Chains A and B, each alone.
Chain A
Amino acid sequence: MTIVYEALAKIGFMFALIMGMVVVLIWMERKGAAYIQDRTGPNRAAILGVRLAGLVHPVADVFKLLFKEDVTPTNRHRALYNLAPWLVMTVALSTYAVIPFGDFLTVAGRRIPLVVADLDVGMLYILAVASLGTYGVVLAGWAANNKFTFLGGLRATAQMISYEINMGLALLGLMLVFGSLRVTDITAGQGALLWGFIPMWGVVVQPLGFLLFITTVYAETNRNPFDLPEGESEIVAGYHLEYSSMKFALFFMAEYAHMVIGAALISTLYFGGYQVPWLPRPALESHAGLLLTGTLIFTLVMSLLIAFAFLRRASRERGKFQDARDREPGLGAGLWLIIGLAAAAGLTRQPWAVGSAGAEVFASLAQVGVFLFKLVFFAWLFIWVRWTLPRFRYDQLMNLGWKVMLPLGVANLLVTALVMAVV
Chain B
Amino acid sequence: MEGLLFWFCGSLLLLGGVMMVVQRSAVVSALWLVFAFLSAAGIFAVLGGTFLAVMQVLVYAGAIMVLFLFVIMMLQGPVMDGERRLMHPALWPLIAAPPAAVLIMLAGFLRGDRMVGFAGAPAPGFGSVVQVATLLLGRYLLAFELISIILLVALIGALAVGRGERKLPWK
Contact = CB atoms under 8 A, between A and B. Distances in A.
A383 B55 CA distance: 33
A121 B25 CA distance: 35
Contacts of A80: 27-28, 31, 78
Main secondary structure of the interface of B (DSSP, over half): helix
A164 interface: yes
A61 interface: no
A199 to B, nearest CB: 27
A120 B31 CA distance: 28
B65 to A, nearest CB: 8
Given A135-B34, A157-B66, A124 B78 contact: no
30 contacts: A77-B27, A79-B28, A80-B31, A120-B50, A120-B51, A120-B128, A121-B50, A121-B54, A125-B54, A127-B58, A127-B62, A128-B57, A130-B62, A131-B63, A131-B66, A132-B57, A132-B61, A132-B62, A135-B34, A135-B66, A135-B69, A138-B69, A139-B31, A142-B27, A144-B78, A145-B77, A154-B74, A157-B70, A160-B66, A164-B63
B34 A76 contact: no
Quick one: which of B66, B77, B78, B128 has the most chain A CB within 10 A? B78
Interface residues of A, number: 33
Contacts of A138: 66, 69-70, 73
Contacts of B78: 75-77, 80, 142-145
Contact of B79 (A145, A150, A154, A160): A145
Nearest to B63: A131
A36 interface: no
Nearest to B128: A120
Interface of A: 75-77, 79-80, 119-121, 124-125, 127-132, 134-135, 138-139, 142-145, 150, 153-154, 157-158, 160-161, 164, 181
Contact of B129 (A120, A134, A158): A120
B121 to A, nearest CB: 18
A119 B50 contact: yes
B19 to A, nearest CB: 12
B79 A142 contact: no
Contacts of B73: 138, 142, 150, 153-154
Given A80-B27, A121-B50, A138-B69, A161 B63 contact: yes
